[in-house]
Chains A and B, each alone.
Chain A
């Protein structure tokens, strides 16, 4: 398996623009997580899905952030409108009970909002 795939790897955008981050989980995994990592706040869980259904989105910073999982092999995290404070590395991870619940992380998307 290719592991968790994220795109783009780097994104530079201007404040006010819409940003869409994409994730393909490992095939067969039924949990998908979105995290944000910054120097100031460390690693934060934004939202997670189980069987494509959002279970806990309490970590989503505000209404500008939204996440979807239309099928088992694809998820998006959208920021609209983006702000400079959204600059961070965004990670997607997946897991399943049959894999022992260890989460497998993608390489991340480094977002810079100017």
Chain B
């Protein structure tokens, strides 16, 4: 079975400060890991993914995430938050990449001006 947990429903950060949105996963194998962002009244947009290779993955809009196999984590980070980063962020995991993509419950990020 595979699952993903986002322990924080809400994250608040001041503009210009670094941000972290946490994600831990559980799979019986090598995971495909994804981060998506959802703006109000929009569909999810792909941010970045880890499949194999370098544990630090860089994605869109200055976001990055670090795959940590020992801690089964894939936290999303950004060095300097923007007000426009305020949105709902979803972590997702799959065993095969294409199917059975399990999404976390989402973390609402609010960047305070």
Q: A42-B105, A42-B106 are in contact. Are A105 and B43 (CB under 8 A)?
A: yes
Question: Is B17 among interface residues, defined by CB-CB distance under 8 A?
Answer: no
In the complex the two chains form, is A104's CB within 8 Å of B46's CB? yes
Question: Is B74 among interface residues, defined by CB-CB distance under 8 A?
Answer: no
In the complex the two chains form, is A56's CB within 8 Å of B97's CB? no
Q: Which A residues between 54 and 86 are near B, CB-CB below 8 angstroms?
A: 55-56
Which chain B positions have C-beta within 8 A of A45? Answer: 100-102
Q: List 30 A-B contacts (CB under 8 A).
A: A4-B43, A31-B98, A31-B99, A33-B101, A42-B106, A43-B44, A43-B103, A43-B106, A45-B100, A45-B101, A48-B99, A50-B98, A55-B99, A91-B43, A91-B44, A93-B44, A97-B97, A97-B98, A101-B32, A101-B49, A101-B51, A101-B94, A101-B98, A102-B34, A103-B46, A105-B43, A105-B44, A107-B42, A108-B42, A108-B43
Name, among A48, A50, A102, A107, the residue most crowded by chain B CB atoms within 10 Å (CB to CB).
Answer: A102
- Across the two chains, which residue of chain A brings its CB closest to B102? A45
- Across the two chains, which residue of chain B brings its CB closest to A100? B49
Question: Is B84 among interface residues, defined by CB-CB distance under 8 A?
Answer: no
Interface residues of A (CB under 8 A from B): 4, 31, 33, 42-43, 45, 48, 50, 55-56, 91, 93, 95-97, 100-108
B99: which of A56, A91, A106, A107 is its contact (CB, 8 Å)?
Answer: A56
Which chain B positions have C-beta within 8 A of A48? Answer: 99
Report the minimal beta-carbon distance from B107 to chain A, rounded to whole angstroms: 12
In the complex the two chains form, is A56's CB within 8 Å of B43's CB? no
Which chain A positions have C-beta within 8 A of B98? Answer: 31, 50, 95-97, 101
Report the minimal beta-carbon distance from A87 to chain B, rounded to whole angstroms: 16
A70 to B92, CA, bound (A): 29
Question: Is B2 among interface residues, defined by CB-CB distance under 8 A?
Answer: no
In the complex the two chains form, is A102's CB within 8 Å of B49's CB? yes
B103: which of A42, A95, A102, A108 is its contact (CB, 8 Å)?
Answer: A42
